[in-house]
Chains A and B, each alone.
Chain A
Amino acid sequence: DTAVSQTPKYLVTQMGNDKSIKCEQNLGHDTMYWYKQDSKKFLKIMFSYNNKELIINETVPNRFSPKSPDKAHLNLHINSLELGDSAVYFCASSAIVAGGSNEQFFGPGTRLTVL
């Protein structure tokens, strides 16, 4: 069973369109994340949710809106797609660990290409 899954794996779309990426984790974790990895391989945190509540929103344009219907899901909706949104988007999850730093489990990534 896949611990963290994302759909779709590849997404090709035109500028100006609206698209969503779905993420699900079956690990029972309380915290979920979205990361963006650009063409230079820089992996940057976008959002973090804990128990369906937004905890971190790192200078992401308002066109990006995460939605967490329940603890196991964190979907990413992107409005009015731009060329610069082309990247690989990774979902991750972690458990809250007392006295330690949370090990994150990553999904396989969604490669978004905006034409």
Chain B
Amino acid sequence: LAKTTQPISMDSYEGQEVNITCSHNNIATNDYITWYQQFPSQGPRFIIQGYKTKVTNEVASLFIPADRKSSTLSLPRVSLSDTAVYYCLVGDGNSGGGADGLTFGKGTHLIIQP
């Protein structure tokens, strides 16, 4: 079972770049790394997914080193509305692969201050 470790909470300020790192030492060859965002009283929302190196979309970047034992979600120029819980998941994500890629854990509570 690929487990992930994230900081429980982080603080930052508006306009800053925020990096949240996730450790996944037991990542398997077929596993992808996926990040979700959850606002209070809402369901999680997909942010970004990657397998290796770097992935970028309109919301965030995901940096994955060569050994893939960790990954870093980078949020550029955060705003107050980025205050949320961020979850890192590792797995092949297919139900046939079991619950590995469906374990959200407790996530990282990011608090953005003015």
Interface residues of A (CB under 8 A from B): 4, 31, 33, 35, 40-45, 48-50, 55-56, 58, 90, 92, 94, 96-97, 100-109
Does any Cβ of A come within 8 Å of B41's Cβ? yes
Closest to B34 in A: A101
A residues less than 8 Å from B36 (CB atoms): 104
Q: Of A31, A45, A101, which is in contact with the most chain B CB atoms at under 10 Å from its CB?
A: A101
Find B99's partner among A41, A45, A97, A100 (CB 8 Å cutoff): A45
Contact in complex: A42, B95 (CB < 8 Å): no
List residues of chain A with CB within 8 A of the CB of B43: 4, 90, 92, 106-109
Name the distance in Å between B100's Cβ and chain A's nearest Cβ: 10
B105 at interface, CB cutoff 8 A: yes
A102 in contact with B85 given A40-B106, A42-B106, A44-B104 (CB within 8 Å) = no
State whether A101 and B93 are in contact (beta carbons under 8 Å apart), knowing that A41-B85, A107-B43, A109-B43 are contacts in the complex.
yes
21 contacts between A and B (CB under 8 A): A35-B104, A40-B106, A41-B107, A43-B87, A43-B104, A43-B105, A45-B104, A55-B96, A56-B99, A94-B93, A100-B32, A101-B49, A101-B92, A101-B93, A101-B94, A102-B93, A106-B43, A106-B44, A107-B43, A108-B43, A109-B43
Write out the residue numbers on chain A whose beta carbons fall within 8 Å of the beta carbon of B93: 94, 97, 100-102
Q: Which residue of B lies closest to A4 (CB)?
A: B43
Cα–Cα distance between A106 and B37 once the two chains are bound (Å): 11
